[in-house]
Amino acid sequence: MFQPKYKWYDNFTTLTGGLIILGAIILVYVLAGLNGSFGLNNPFERFTMLKTLSEFKWMPLLIIFTPAVGGGIQLFFSRKTCYSRDTVVIVMSFSTILMTLLMYPTALDGGQLLSFPGFLGLGLSLKVDMLSLVMLLITSILWFLVMVYAHAYMIKEKRCNRFFFFMALTYSSVLGTLVSADLLTMFLFFEMMTITSYMLVTHGQKEESYSAGYNYIFMGLLGGFAIFVALVLMVVYVGDLSFTSAIVALQATGSIRYWIIGLLVMGFGIKAGMAPVHVWLPRAHPVAPTPASALLSGIMIKVGAYGVLRVATSYYFPVKNTVDSRFDPIWLTSETIGFSIIWLGMITMAIGVFLALQQSNIKRMLAYHSISQMGYIVMGIGVALYLGYYGAMGFAGSLYHIINHALFKSLLFMVAGSVYLHTRENDMYKLGGLWRKLPLSATVALIAALGISGIPLFNGFVSKTILHHGIVEAYEYGHASFRYAEWIFIVISAGTVCSFIKLYYYVFLGKMPDIYKSIKPKLNSLDVSMAAIAMMILFIGLNPSLILDLFIIPELRVISYDPQFINTYIVGMSVFTVSDMSIMVPIVILGFLIFIAGTKFHLFHLKLPGWLRIEYIFFYPSFHLMRGACRLLYGDQCPIDKKEYFKMDIKHNYDVGFLDRFVVLSHMFDKRFEKKIINSDALIYTILITLVIIIMMFV
Amino acid sequence: MNLVNDILAHVNFIGAMALFVIGLYMVVTHSNLIKRIMGINIMGTAIFYFFIAVGNVEDGAPPLLDPDGNALTFINPLPSVLILTGIVVVVSITVYSLSLVVRIYETYGTIDQKEMAQIEAEDDD
Amino acid sequence: MIEQLPIINLILLLTTALVIPLFKKQRFMVTLILSFVVLFIVWLSALYLLYHVNTTGAFYYRFGGYSPTIGLELLINPFSALFTFFVITLLMIIFIYSTADASDGIHEREYGRYYILMFILLFAMFGIIYTNDLFNTYVFMEILSITTCAIISIKRKKKNYAAAFRYVMLNEMGSLSYLFGVALLYMVTGYTNIELVFQGVQDVWVIYPTNIIIAAIFMIVGLGLKAAIFPLHIWLPDAHSAAPSSSSAILSAIVVKVYLIILVKVLFSVFGITIIEALHIPSLLMVIGAVGIVMGSFFAIAQHDIKRMLGYSSVAQIGYIVLGIGLASSLGLRIAFYHVFSHGIMKSVLFLSVGAVIYQRNLRKVTAYNGIGYMMPLSIGMFTLAALGMIGIPLTSGFISKFNLGIAALDGGQGIYIIILVVSGILNAIYYLPIIIAAFLRENPENQIYVSKDKVPLLMIMPILILGAFIVIIGVYPAIIFDLVDSAVSTFSF
């Protein structure tokens, strides 16, 4: 009987390889044409049909529904083979890239508003402007490549039909979040994303995935409710939810404006893994199947950052061309917000790197690095807000870093997955010398590691340099305390360098354990997709101005930043200057020093005391309250389950979460009081009626 | 003296309230199902009494066709009519709950609410 | 002819209840067909009345042509037409379900009797909603509570009898309290017709405040007892969990709502906004509603029996409606009415899908749902949808309720209650999500990874799917309901 062999030249790999090459050609052609390099003309002017298609009104809706419909078709095809199912997946994701590219000209003009009045009460609306387009493009490209990877990775896993189905739904909701033009629409898709991606996190169906998933969904819901409250406040105090300037109305609300942005930052920040609400991230990302963790870390946390960026720069910024000075009092609100967001970003960066250095599980370490890198992005957003009129640098930096981090972090996760697939091992101390066995993985891992460390000629350098410019401007134009922020920035970058030296050293260099001698690597679609992402990292690293010119600067010009500032500092900006590159020298040296010191003094195996855990600090009072309540109800005897009651008594709350204890408390309360309440039926009526009479008569 | 007059003038209402409280007290304190039903009946009676007392007019004649034609004031007939309906309703409820008590006695073997609760608790375990 | 339609409806329902016992037990099919035809006719006329009052305005039906001072009167306005339509629509869908699942604990001999009760129930609810007379409301209420009680005790089990007894006793106390209130109002106004009482109350409010205060307290507490508002919810979990699945849906989704509808009538049509504001009743209701939302969910977390859990969840959701009523503004009332619909549909879906699970697998323990989502994808899928609605995820009607309730609360200067909404969402998630997660993501020893079809009759699955579709439809495009609700709200003056 014919069994489809798992060979590198199977039909699927041929198809995907062909599609990737086709996609690369189209991308290069379109981008180069738009940029006018190689003597190519703008393809949208050359082919009028493309221009007409680009003005197709329903395009945003189409792009949302493509993956969802694909999900349905997948389910139909999945009855036959996984090959036909995955072909549908690949074709659907590929077509979203094309659709995104098609929308470039309209996005350049500010985008077309597609509104659906009456839906969900207040009406929904979609719009693709430049910021959305950048996010859409990186999302669709990465999703496509990860889907190529997922085919080869998931083929050995169980329940892939469910996985791909929910992947498609998650994709739909991510795209929806990115194209929405008002807060309600964004919230709708954001919540859908939380729910659908939950199925990806818990896909493994192991005990740890349940607990991580539980953490994920409840944090996600909490974030959703934070946005919900902000939404209610916005409706009542501002009235207009579309992403346009609302600062005049907001200034009239007094302190409510800080509540609104605080709740929104909390809501989106939970998804973005911002400290101190990042606790779910290092648990959820590692337990998901690798393609899912690549996308969770690569795309989904960026959606949170995108949310903050979007709401802050639309609601809290004045209308374009109405202000022409950075000292206008209208900027005061965003300055205050930006100040706190910068420091939030700093804390996030520091916590992420510090905890990443302590990890031995590769995926966990990468997850902590996601937190740390999100700190960079959040800091950039902070600068974009803090400097107000002059904040363009921070905006550009954070947007650029969103793109770059998406690329190298998903690549790193994919490498981790590839290593895991061959060795079934996630602990970096148990690996070593794998470069001989997995040369391609080792090469792309090197590229990604150099990218994340911010070495010149790789993409991370570009965005980190812009972010560095941003923070320098923050103390030049603003508060002096950001001088320290810059130092922290440098130290954290060194920590990143160190931690990737460590990762690379322990996984790919050094001595190989004997059990891995028998690995026989094969070239397959895993490698194809990884190589494609590595190429993109290099491409951006070598042509940093392409993305700036084509995407980021047009977006900056839409926002009410100083056009003079953009022209002077960002247009034609070159990151390869001596002063910028020389910063990397101390960073790399410091990174090496930390690595050597760490291995010498075993600093990477520090066990932190339990009370330093964020959860512990958060829930400490509530634990004591609940335990006290239980003692009050029952003393030391336990009438229910000994095991249940024991949960209330465990000192370390890592094993027993807040919710578990809450459920136990409710069980105890119920056991103790429910029957009594029910049996005292008429008494309650009597008491209530007497009470109400007393209240009414005497108040 | 005023107080006594007031009480005498409103004796119907006070009596109704007292009946209501007695009925409620019975429902609250007794765990015997039949006694609880009796309590509810007393409460119902209290309210009917109250309602009819509302319709009472001092020195009024019964609201019947008067052949002599010398009665000037009549008692308001509407509350009495309403209460007739009310009595029917409460009687049917009483009958229904008594039939339930029979069933409960058949299945639980007791008509004491506390014992029923104990039996239920044992069933749960 | 149109003027006669309400009374024709009532008579039709009552006659059907009387005709059903005439059929032989062997001809059960005839009963079902007859019932369905009657329900459909009544549904059509309710629909027509809804259309009629919304286009040409409200009208009265006076029995025997007596003047409203002494006679009975039915008032058909957008409010009553809307809620009769709601009741009959939901009941008709649940009826279809019950034809297939009547076996849930009901003796075969008693199928017919079950439908008799259903028609009397419907008759009483129509009467309550249509009538414009306080005493008439009392009579219909008693018919309703005795019928409900009979439906609860139709399953011949220990627990049903105990639950039914508690139900009948407490409901009788509630009715008597209500009647006491009516008597006190009659004492000062001399009428039982709602509009005349309203006039009278406004006139004598200054002279006899004590009467009116005590009347208000007794009426509200009495109706609260019947509507299971939080500290008076004691009878609800037992009654709703003991009843057959389809009746649990009817009780939770419709019957309890009818009492809330009377509460709205009493508050805003009998006493009027000025008096209840002067008595601080709205703020009291809001506090009670908020406490109910939290405590109902808190108790629901601890339940082992899934139907009891759903019962407590109803207590919490009633809190939402009470909160909306307590806002005492047209925005608040609007969302309270919307939530009557929204919760009615969601809770029916929950009870019916749980009923399907009980039918196919006989599982009532919350912890026993492992892997069941693959055996009954449709039922559990709809359960998931409704549960997400309860949590307040957008695209479901639950989100619209929550969102608009938040807006109404903040608009009325009661922003603090938004926190309650959030807390309630999280609490709902704590007890609904584990079930969904277990159903779809936990291993079951006999679980195949492959999805199989639900092995329940089509007549059970169809109503669940229809109601599930409604959750999404009114969640995505709430204007369908809001337009009707707005005209219903406009019948009350604020």
**Among candidates A134, A36, A130, which has minimal Cα distance to A556?**
A130
Q: How far apart are CA A573 and CA B1, in angstroms?
A: 102
The pLDDT score that the predictor gives to residue A185 is 93
Residues above pLDDT 70, as percent of chain A: 93
Contacts C152 to B, Cβ<8 Å: none
The first and second tokens of residue A339, run together, are 């100040």
pLDDT tens-digit series, residues C336-360: 999 999 999 999 999 999 989 888 8
The first and second tokens of residue B44, run together, are 């119902």
ipTM score? 0.93
CB of A675 within 8 Å of any CB in chain B? yes
Residue A652 domain flag = yes
**pLDDT bracket for residue A3 (50, 70, 90):** very low
By Cβ distance, the residue of C433, C441, C477 closest to A119 is C477
Q: What is the domain range of residue B93? A: 2-60+72-124
| CA separation, residue C132 to residues A432, A489, C82, C220 (Å) | 84, 74, 15, 18
Q: How far apart are CA B37 and CA C244, in angstroms?
A: 26
Whether the pLDDT of residue A630 is over 50: the answer is yes
| CA separation, residue B7 to residues B4, B45, B52, C296 (Å) | 5, 21, 18, 45
Upper half-sphere CA count for residue A10 (Cβ side, 13 Å): 17
Strand, helix or coil for residue A361: strand
Q: How far is A119 from chain C (nearest CA, A)?
A: 5
Contacts A688 to B, Cβ<8 Å: none
Mean pLDDT of the residues in chain A: 85
What part of B 34-53 touches A (C-beta under 8 Å)?
36
Residue A639 domain flag = yes
Range with lowest mean pLDDT among A134-148, A369-383, A516-530, C66-80: A516-530
**Among candidates A642, A644, A646, A650, which has minimal Cα distance to A667?**
A644
Q: What is the mean pLDDT of residues C156-179?
A: 89
Strand, helix or coil for residue B112: strand
Contacts A686 to B, Cβ<8 Å: 24, 28
Residues above pLDDT 90, as percent of chain B: 30
**Among candidates C138, C166, C173, C141, which has minimal Cα distance to C152?**
C166
CB of B83 within 8 Å of any CB in chain C? no
Q: What is the mean pLDDT of residues A181-195?
A: 92
The first and second tokens of residue B30, run together, are 């007794």
Q: What is the mean pLDDT of residues A386-407?
A: 90
The first and second tokens of residue C42, run together, are 């009544």
**Among candidates A483, A463, A465, A466, which has minimal Cα distance to A474?**
A483
Q: What is the domain range of residue C437? A: 280-494
**Among candidates C183, C185, C222, C217, which has minimal Cα distance to C201?**
C185
Residues 6 or more apart from B96 whose CB is under 8 A from it?
Answer: C146, C149, C150, C168
Q: What is the mean pLDDT of residues C371-380?
A: 86
What's the maximum distance between 2 C-alpha atoms anywhere in chain B? 75
The pLDDT score that the predictor gives to residue B12 is 85
Q: How far apart are CA C427 and CA C421, in angstroms?
A: 10
Residue C272 domain flag = no
The first and second tokens of residue A143, run together, are 């999703």
How distant is the alpha carbon of residue A397 from its chain centre?
Answer: 16
Residue C124 domain flag = no
Q: What is the mean pLDDT of residues A384-409?
A: 90
The first and second tokens of residue A447, run together, are 């590229």
- Total domains present in chain A: 1
CB of B111 within 8 Å of any CB in chain C? no
Q: What is the mean pLDDT of residues C209-232?
A: 90
Q: How far is A98 from chain C (nearest CA, A)?
A: 29
What sign has the CA pseudo-torsion A546, A550, A551, A557?
A: positive
Residue C347 domain flag = yes
Q: Which chains touch A (3 or more CB pairs under 8 A)?
A: B, C
Q: What is the domain range of residue A642? A: 611-698
CB of A686 within 8 Å of any CB in chain B? yes
pLDDT tens-digit series, residues C379-404: 999 999 999 999 999 889 999 999 99
Contacts C221 to A, Cβ<8 Å: 685, 688-689, 692
Residue B113 domain flag = yes
Whether the pLDDT of residue C302 is over 80: the answer is yes
Residue A642 domain flag = yes
Q: How far apart are CA C150 and CA B123, in angstroms?
A: 24
What's the maximum distance between 2 C-alpha atoms anywhere in chain A? 89
Strand, helix or coil for residue A414: helix
Query: Exposed (0-12), middle (13-18) or buried (19+): which is C260, by Cβ within 10 Å?
Result: buried
By Cβ distance, the residue of B40, B47, B89 closest to C183 is B47
The first and second tokens of residue C458, run together, are 């089509």
Whether the pLDDT of residue A240 is over 70: the answer is yes
Whether the pLDDT of residue C234 is over 70: the answer is yes
Which of A384-393, A630-639, C96-105 reaches the highest mean pLDDT?
A384-393
**pLDDT bracket for residue A4 (50, 70, 90):** very low
The pLDDT score that the predictor gives to residue A653 is 52
Q: Is C217 in contact with A678 (Cβ distance < 8 A)?
A: no
Residue C394 domain flag = yes
Helix ranges restricted to H, C362-457: 377-391, 397-411, 416-441
* Cβ pair A290, A307 in contact under 8 A: no
Residue A131 DSSP symbol? H
pLDDT tens-digit series, residues A163-183: 888 999 999 999 999 999 999
pTM of this structure = 0.93
pLDDT tens-digit series, residues C73-124: 899 999 999 999 999 999 999 999 888 876 566 667 777 788 888 999 999 9
- Total domains present in chain C: 1
Range with lowest mean pLDDT among A142-146, A595-599, A640-644, C475-479: A640-644
Q: What number of residues does chain B have?
A: 125
Residues above pLDDT 70, as percent of chain C: 97
Strands (DSSP E) found in C54-126: 59-62, 73-76
| Helices C78-101 + C28-56 axis angle, to 10 | 160
Residue A229 domain flag = no
Q: Is B100 in contact with C161 (Cβ distance < 8 A)?
A: yes
- Total domains present in chain B: 1
- Domain containing B46 — which CATH number? 1.10.287.3510
The pLDDT score that the predictor gives to residue A8 is 45
Determine the residue type at C19: V
Q: How far apart are CA B39 and CA A66, in angstroms?
A: 68
| CA separation, residue A201 to residues A98, A296, A418, C420 (Å) | 29, 9, 19, 29
Q: How far apart are CA A600 and CA C366, in angstroms?
A: 54
B44: nearest CA partner in chain C: C176
* Cβ pair A75, A161 in contact under 8 A: yes
Residue A342 domain flag = no
**Among candidates A490, A630, A533, which has minimal Cα distance to A298?**
A533
Phi/psi at C480 (nearest 5 deg)? Answer: -55, -45
Residue B67 domain flag = no
Query: Exposed (0-12), middle (13-18) or buried (19+): which is A86, by Cβ within 10 Å?
Result: buried
**pLDDT bracket for residue A407 (50, 70, 90):** very high
| Helices C158-189 + B77-108 axis angle, to 10 | 170
Residue C321 domain flag = yes
B30: nearest CA partner in chain A: A682
Residue C483 DSSP symbol? H
**Among candidates A192, A354, A213, which has minimal Cα distance to A293?**
A213
Show the CA angle centred on residue C212, arms to residues C211 and C214, nearest 5°.
Answer: 70
* Cβ pair C100, C113 in contact under 8 A: no
Determine the residue type at C37: V
CB of B82 within 8 Å of any CB in chain C? yes
Q: How far apart are CA A352 and CA A363, in angstroms?
A: 13
By Cβ distance, the residue of C216, C410, C482 closest to A233 is C410
Top-confidence residue, A614 or A447: A447
Residue C10 domain flag = no
**Among candidates A413, A459, A455, A199, which has minimal Cα distance to A290?**
A413
Contacts B24 to A, Cβ<8 Å: 682, 686
Q: How far apart are CA A162 and CA A648, in angstroms?
A: 36
Size of interface A-B (CB pairs under 8 A): 12
Contacts B117 to A, Cβ<8 Å: 675, 679
Residue C377 domain flag = yes
Quickly tell me which residue has 């195949």 as its tokens: C448
Q: How far apart are CA A27 and CA A588, in angstroms?
A: 34
Q: How far apart are CA A198 and CA A284, in angstroms?
A: 9
Determine the residue type at A541: G
Examine residue C434 and say whether the peptide bond preceding it is cis (omega within 30 degrees of 0): no
